């Protein structure tokens, strides 16, 4: 069953400690102490090593400046823990996080990292410590996604909670991923952690790996041991087409017959023609525009599509491209401020 007591905790960071390889080589955590205006101090137990005996490394994505519509809704929250499990927020367009469906980061920008090894910029602690230290020093506001524990005095599961291998399959679910978002005075940042053994693709109902066996893991997808061009070829095989532009805010009211259609432009990143039959363009709320059967996009070419069945919100949103099997090929997000300009471009 999915993780229990899922939600988001709005607070201010106070201090942190962590367990290096000498203190706890098996199940170490970074403990982030925080305070809110309701319950005093709490603790976030953040995994810094996987318990998987075969693959203990983590997957890590850092977004130093995130432009995503969820930040607008988070800023409106009161300090304290807000339950999200089993609510309307745990669905497309809600507050709950989903690493695969929420377009919170570009998956190819992730890193596979060990717990604690000698040298600079080569383990998970090297990535977490500077940003958390800055958040404390600048008295930033933090938003911790995960599961409440210790009688509501702490939060854990601050990591991806889907696509787990069989041993941890009971924790799989959609729209229940954990993360740390940080609201600085002039920008937002975000830290996302997963386990290298988790699947890159999961099903939309239960968050189980797709396919159930022999699936693509983050360790394979982002393996630092695989040099270019092989790794680049693997990435293009999984994401051959990118979303490069969208007209998200046209003159006139949304949905009115006289308003010009919103559009999404796709670009073929490969040197081969790509068949787009049955592919779908999905918006923030889960509505989608299905591309025509027999449609293809030429090598290194671009095509623009009208998306009347998947309206693009002027208040910020996400756009996701799915292939004929329903697997995510590419995804982007945009803020309300970006939408005000009419056309948004990526990459």
Residue 230 has pLDDT above 80, yes or no: no
Q: Containing domain of residue 143, as a range?
A: 6-234
Per-residue model confidence (pLDDT) at position 124: 97
Per-residue model confidence (pLDDT) at position 202: 97
Q: Which of 186, 203, 234 is the endpoint of a domain?
A: 234
Q: What's the mean pLDDT when you consider all of the chain?
A: 94
Q: Return d(Cα 156, Cα 1) in angstroms, integer.
A: 17
Query: Which residue in the block uniquely carries the two structure tokens 């089993």?
Result: 86
DSSP state of 200: S
pLDDT average, residue stretch 71-88: 94
pLDDT average, residue stretch 3-27: 95
End-to-end, the C-alpha distance of the chain in Å comes to: 38
Per-residue model confidence (pLDDT) at position 234: 78
Residue 226 has pLDDT above 90, yes or no: no
Residue 323 has pLDDT above 80, yes or no: yes
**At 228, is the pLDDT very low, low, confident or very high (cuts 50, 70, 90)?**
low
Q: What is the pLDDT of residues 143-175, one digit of tens each?
A: 999 999 999 899 999 999 999 998 899 999 999
Q: Which residues pair with 322 in a beta bridge?
A: 280, 328
151 and 57 within one domain: yes
**At 248, is the pLDDT very low, low, confident or very high (cuts 50, 70, 90)?**
very high
Residue 185 has pLDDT above 80, yes or no: yes
226 and 311 within one domain: no
Parallel, antiparallel or unpaired: strands 58-63 and 111-113: antiparallel
DSSP, collapsed to helix, strand or coil, labels residue 30 as: strand
Spatial contact of 154 and 46, defined as CB atoms under 8 Å apart: no
Q: What is the pLDDT of residues 264-306, one digit of tens each?
A: 999 999 999 999 999 999 999 999 999 999 999 999 999 999 9
Q: What is the pLDDT of residues 38-53, one digit of tens each?
A: 668 999 999 999 988 8
296 and 212 within one domain: no
CATH number, domain at 308?
2.60.40.1260
288 and 340 within one domain: yes
Per-residue model confidence (pLDDT) at position 257: 67
Per-residue model confidence (pLDDT) at position 1: 61
Q: Per the domain annotation, does 1 fall within a domain?
A: no
Helices (H) and strands (E) in the chain, counts: 5, 20
Q: What is the pLDDT of residues 195-222, one digit of tens each?
A: 999 999 999 999 999 999 999 999 999 9
| Counted domains in the chain | 2
Q: Which of 216, 234, 252 is the endpoint of a domain?
A: 234
């Amino acid at each position: 069953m999915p993780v229990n007591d899922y939600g988001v905790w709005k607070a201010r960071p106070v201090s942190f400690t962590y367990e290096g390889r000498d203190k706890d080589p098996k199940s170490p955590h970074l403990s982030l102490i925080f305070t809110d205006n309701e319950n005093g101090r709490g603790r976030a137990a953040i995994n810094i090593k996987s318990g998987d005996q075969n693959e203990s490394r983590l997957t890590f994505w850092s977004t130093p400046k995130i432009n995503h519509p969820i930040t607008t809704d988070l800023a409106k929250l009161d300090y304290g823990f807000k339950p999200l499990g089993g609510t309307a927020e745990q669905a497309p367009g809600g507050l709950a996080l989903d690493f695969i469906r929420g377009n919170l980061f570009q998956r190819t920008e992730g890193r596979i990292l060990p717990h604690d090894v000698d040298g600079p910029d080569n383990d998970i602690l090297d990535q977490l410590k500077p940003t958390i230290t800055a958040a404390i020093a600048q008295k930033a506001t933090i938003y911790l996604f995960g599961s409440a524990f210790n009688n509501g005095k702490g939060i854990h599961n601050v990591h991806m909670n889907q696509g787990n291998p069989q041993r941890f399959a009971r924790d799989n679910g959609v729209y229940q991923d954990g993360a740390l978002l940080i609201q600085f005075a002039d920008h937002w940042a975000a830290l996302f952690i997963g386990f290298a053994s988790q699947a890159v693709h999961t099903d939309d109902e239960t968050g189980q790996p797709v396919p159930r066996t022999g699936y693509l893991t983050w360790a394979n997808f982002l393996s630092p041991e695989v040099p270019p061009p092989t790794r680049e070829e693997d990435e293009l095989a999984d994401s051959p087409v990118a979303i490069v532009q969208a007209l998200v805010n046209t003159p006139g009211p949304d949905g009115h017959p006289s308003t010009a259609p919103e559009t999404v432009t796709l670009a073929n990143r490969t040197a081969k023609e790509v068949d787009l039959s049955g592919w779908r363009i999905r918006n923030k709320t889960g509505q989608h525009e299905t591309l025509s059967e027999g449609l293809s996009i030429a090598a290194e070419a671009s095509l623009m599509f009208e998306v009347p069945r998947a309206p693009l919100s002027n208040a910020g949103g996400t756009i996701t491209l799915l292939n004929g099997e329903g697997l995510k090929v590419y995804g982007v997000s945009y803020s309300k401020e970006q939408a005000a300009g009419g056309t948004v471009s990526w990459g």
